[in-house]
Amino acid sequence: MPAQPHRPVSRRGFLAASAAAGAALGLAPGPARAATRPRPFGRYGSPAARLTPRTLYVHPGGAGDVSSVRDAVAAADGEGHTLVIAPGVYRETVSVDPARTGMTWIGASEDPRDVVLVYDNAAGTPKPGGGTYGTSGSATATVQADGFTARWITFANDWLRADHPGVTGTQAVALKVQGDRSAFHHCRFLGHQDTLYADSMALGTFARQYFAHCYAEGDVDFVFGRATAVFERCHFRTLSRTDLASAPYGFVFAPSTAGACPLGYLVTRSRVSSEAPDGFYKLARPWVPSSDPTARPMLTVRDTWLGPGIDAVAPYADMRADHPWQSMRFAEYRNTGPGARVVVPGNRPQLTDVQARSATRAAHLGDWEPWRQGC
């Protein structure tokens, strides 16, 4: 997809658009629309006709068990709960702790534009009790439990740099997911810097995660972390920036895979498009956190269309000079598009056919097959 010259709609403008404009642009409806639907929970039952005893219904207008996602999570003690969430914009932060295993969130309309979970904290946002939130604390949603699944949900952070010129901690996470066997189907992740944090609970803990038919957008390191994560048939979109006059505007991926972890991020059968001028984005840079100086970030991008927004000459960059990307585990295979052109072979490590046989979702996820999950 060619670069778009128009100025993008901000995340806040995106979510606050009027109903008429929202219908024209395909944006998320607000709670009022949800309240008027005759069947706000679609084919997933209702409080009067539950799918299972462990199904809870969230409706912003009061037609469910609770009116907020946070209250639903609090009510879902133990394991195996399902939250059916009616269309609406839910402005709140939510955390799923490790004890709430096997939880599923379903956007009732089966359109992720209709169910939006959003907040606007950044790493540098002051906390009520003093200090700032930090990157992890900025997350709109934090999922620590194993076995979590979400379908047709938008996770967003609409904090904007332009509104806070004095804040230096501009990381603003939409979702931080740390649990093993975490799956996201047909979800959207909206933000700017550090949008999607695909991580694990601890340095020595491996977490397998799967993202299918998802959409993620941002500018700086907007998909990052140390999880063993597969992104299949996903769309990554880089945003334009009015605060910078020259390239690079940012980086799509910033994995921080632990050195002991054999597998990091796999991007397959996906696409990367851009609102920015051609060549203004890098595909990735390695993140070696100060808490894990032995990290060896791993990223494989295969069978994926890379648009002209990606710098084909030098698609990778260093985050720090003492951890050059060439010493990390970055590779590509059979990518297409203008951003995938091999201009300088040394700047684009390629897998051999034999190596590519091990760069698969099955190799990454083992005996867990989330692509077979039904609703």
**Interval 181-234: pLDDT, tens:** 999 999 999 999 999 999 999 999 999 999 999 999 999 999 999 999 999 999
Task: Sketch the domain layout of the chain as residue ranges.
Answer: 11-368
Q: Which one is predicted more confidently, 30 or 364? A: 364
Q: Is 373 exposed, middle or buried (0-12, 13-18, 19+ CB in 10 A)?
A: middle
Residue 87 is which amino acid?
P
Kindly indicate the confidence band of residue 38, based on its pLDDT and cuts at 50, 70 and 90: confident
Amino acid identity of residue 347, one-letter, is N
Mean pLDDT for the chain overall? 91
pLDDT at 26 over 50: no
Q: Could you report the per-residue pLDDT of 240-293, keeping only the tens digit for each?
A: 999 999 999 999 999 999 999 999 999 999 999 999 999 999 999 999 999 999
| SS3 at position 91 | strand
Task: Say if residue 8 is exposed, middle or buried (CB neighbours under 10 Å; 0-12, 13-18, 19+).
Answer: middle
pLDDT tens for 47-91 read 999 999 999 999 999 999 999 999 999 999 999 999 999 999 999
Q: Which CATH architecture has domain 11-368?
A: 3 Solenoid (2.160)
Q: Show the DSSP H helices in 206-252 as ranges.
A: none
Q: Is the pLDDT confidence value at 28 over 80? A: no
Whether the pLDDT of residue 373 is over 90: the answer is no
Strand order in the sheet with 115-119: 88-91, 115-119, 154-157, 188-190, 215-218, 235-238, 271-274, 305-306
Q: Are 339 and 307 in contact (CB under 8 A)?
A: yes
Which pLDDT does position 19 carry in this prediction?
35
Closest CA to 182 of 223, 148, 227: 148
Q: In this predicted model, what pLDDT tens digit does every residue of 90-115 receive, in sequence order?
A: 999 999 999 999 999 999 999 999 99
- Res 15: pLDDT: 52
